Amino acid sequence: MMGWLNIGSLVLGLIAWILPVVNIFRSRNNSNWVVLSMLSICACVISLYFQLLYNNYLVKIEDWSALMDTSGGVVVAGSVLLVITLFLNIMTFVVYRNRTTTESSKRI
């Protein structure tokens, strides 16, 4: 049952990356880009939390060899997930900030 945490973490990590990419390539009239960015960050956080739960499970069952084998990879994967998610959401903010500024100047 606890193995599903790894699959859930992977799926949520992919969602955390896909949402900002979709957000960037959507049309100009995307008024809910903030919601999609927040969902992306939430998916990233939940994905990392699932990894914490799985590591806690390994500690509880005292599977030290599995914990020692996977802890380095979990740290690297979590770091990559976090950095790329933040980068994509910052890029989304920059794109929509420029679009909002351009659209408001056209109205005047």
Q: Dump pLDDT digits (tens) for 57-81.
A: 999 999 999 999 999 999 999 999 9
d(CA 51, CA 57): 10
Task: Please give the C-alpha separations between residue 62 and each of 1, 5, 7, 91, in angstroms, as whole numbers.
Answer: 17, 18, 21, 42
pTM for this model (two decimals): 0.86
Using an 8 Å Cβ cutoff, are 19 and 42 in contact? no
Q: How far is CA 48 from the centre of its chain?
A: 9
Domain boundaries, the chain: 4-107
Please indicate whether residue 47 or residue 33 has the higher confidence score (pLDDT): 47
The band of 96, judged by pLDDT with boundaries at 50, 70 and 90, is confident
Using an 8 Å Cβ cutoff, are 80 and 47 in contact? no
